[in-house]
Structure 1
Amino acid sequence: MVSGRSRRAGREVLDSDHDRPAWQLRTDDDANVIVLSGAWIAQQGRVPALPSDGLRQALPDRPIHFDTAALGRWDTALVGFLWQVKQLAARDHLAIQADTLPDSARKLLDLLPESAPAPAAPHRRAFAPVTALGGRTLDGLTEIGTMTELGVEAARGGLAALAGRGRMRMTDLMDNIRDAGPSALLIVSVVNFLVGAILAFVGAVQLRRFAADIYVASLVGIAMVREMSAVMTAIIMAGRTGGAYAARIATMQGNEEIDALTVFGIPVSSYLILPSILGLVATMPFLYLYGCLIGMLGGFAVSISMLAVTGPGYLHQTLNAVALNQFEFGFAKSIAFAILIGLTSCRIGLRAGRSAADVGVAATRAVVVGIVGVIAVDAIFAVIATTIGI
């Protein structure tokens, strides 16, 4: 006695065999007929292949017809098979009569060529270093000119805003100030505190040999005020705020919001770029001063715990070592870093493509360019400080 489960399994096997796709070439009555049967579904993975000599038994000078009486469901698997038939028929100089095929399959078959296109030859670049150098130079000069023009337009928008004729919205400016300032205090605090502590620890190891523990305060104070606070804060803002600016503008570029602003006659420099730059310019100097204080606090913590230095002595030595012009120099440096990060990030966002992947590329590029630019500008400021004797 056969159980109901066995009978159902047998029917499933029979149905599966009945739906299995198959093809056969018949040459009855002086005609070439390809009989198609079963379900031609690509996901089932049972589509039969057509060998290169699949039409060797076809009658010459006779067109190829199709018998689709037993054809079941089909998708692109059938279209791919028909294209192979078409290519072999063109090679053997046989015509195809596709009247009996389903309308959709026949229309798709008519769109396909009789032979697959040849793969394109790989492009080989000729060795032309002078041409490549010239192209890179021209591209760099063009980008510098575009950045300069963008900065001039933003400066004009800022002057117009001071005169009460600008198109910059104060809400946008305040949002950028909040994002670039208070929201960044935590990471600025952590990084500058650790940098100050590291400077104090490294200095303590060397100065302790000469019984000059108190000069750790001078080392930390001068290093933080002159270099480390401004540079580390700028690097943080390049990675945090600069990448956000580039990603935001790149997203607007992909959503065609930039095109909409241009159509409505709203200048992008005043509407997007100026608030971003002013937000950084307004917050970076204060973040620099805050970073100096936190860095000195990190050095103070290490000195008190490791060296024979008192709190009043550390404070007195720091005040005597750090002159006011050092703060002025770092203040000017932080403003230059802010303008650099704002301009480069917005420019990279405007140059981005319109896909989702281009947003990530723009953000990454803005971070890299911002960090490298900060280091390069800091080197220029170091040369200037040496020249003028600061």
Structure 2
Amino acid sequence: MPEGWKTETIENVCRLITSGGTPSRQRPEYFSDESSGIPWLKTQELRDRTVITTQEFISELGLKSSSAKLLPRNTVMLAMYGGGTVGDVAILGKEMTCNQASCAMVVKEDVMRPKYLFYWLIHNRDYVISLASGAAQQNLSARIVRQLKISFPPLPEQDRIVDLMASVDGAIDATSQTLASVRDSLGAFLDQADADESVQMDMLASMRSGPSWTSEQESPVPVEGSLPVLGITNTKSGGHLDLSDRRFVAGVPASAMRLREDSLIMIRTNGNRSRIGNVYRSVPEIVGHAVSAFQIAIQPLDPSMSPYIYWMLRAPKMQAMMSDAASGSTGLGNIAIGWLKNLALPRMESEEREDFVNLCESFHGVHEGLQSKLCSLKHLRSQLLASLLSGHHCIPSSYDDLLETSA
């Protein structure tokens, strides 16, 4: 450990470790609106950020009638349980309350900066989550959190680390906001696409879902009589294909549609209705693959129409329409091929269609560039945290002079 650093339990660097509560939903008077209510933070809202406002607000009566507590600004929050949120972190940007699924840590600021603990929990998330227990759902406990050991430098070095990381976070936030703006603009542009006439999907493409198969038919490598397949796990949210784990299946019917370079892949069946209808473009690596019964292969009758069909199906209103059309009573929604064949798309003349596709591709290019920048910034953040929070690298005291100059 570097000179001057200490190691303590989180319990010893905090003056208060507590959780919150949920007022009874049966009492409407326990909840309020933003203008007169107290911000009430749920674990789904943590997301590794400074929280300024919340989705819900409780009244003074709700606060007094539950185990919810008023927490001061700079309280560090850690999600202890909840599907998909365990280990998520936040820091309060103002006074607010929280539900019982979060651990709230009020730091002794003469020992540790709240933002230092915030960054430490983010960097050590995997380790913290590994301590969770539970059969049906992995949960942390206040006891586990209290006993976590944290190493930290003197306050001046903590201040430098926090300031440097805040600069990186600022770049991440700005890029994320621009990315969201571009995504929203593309969605609005797609939703506005219209024409005097429409054309049904079955006039533009042939469509067929893939076959079913058992795990015994699968192999991670080609075997005699097998065919490469694209499964539901290869079609990730956000419109990206993940080809890191492709499979080969023996006994696929000869009638199974094989993907071409101009093919589109659509999610047909999913437990999450918002995923149904999500569409993906083929790439050279999957030419010749079959799709699963949970997907639909779409083969344009005219290959040049593939980009147009793709962007039309990507429109948010079209995605919502397909999600709403999904049926099923087993928890899995399913879109019918017959319904998809009858789906009407705007019919544009070739020149208008070309302009439409070019604009969509321009939006997409900007979006992908921003997405790449965001990934690079997050990687930089991870590398800096690993180096600075371990003491492997220290920020020199001359950094303080730089801060004074910039101020």
Length-normalised TM-score, structure 2: 0.20
TM-score (normalised: structure 1) = 0.20
Pick the structure with greater CA Rg: 1
Give the number of the structure whose residues are more often strand, by fraction: 2
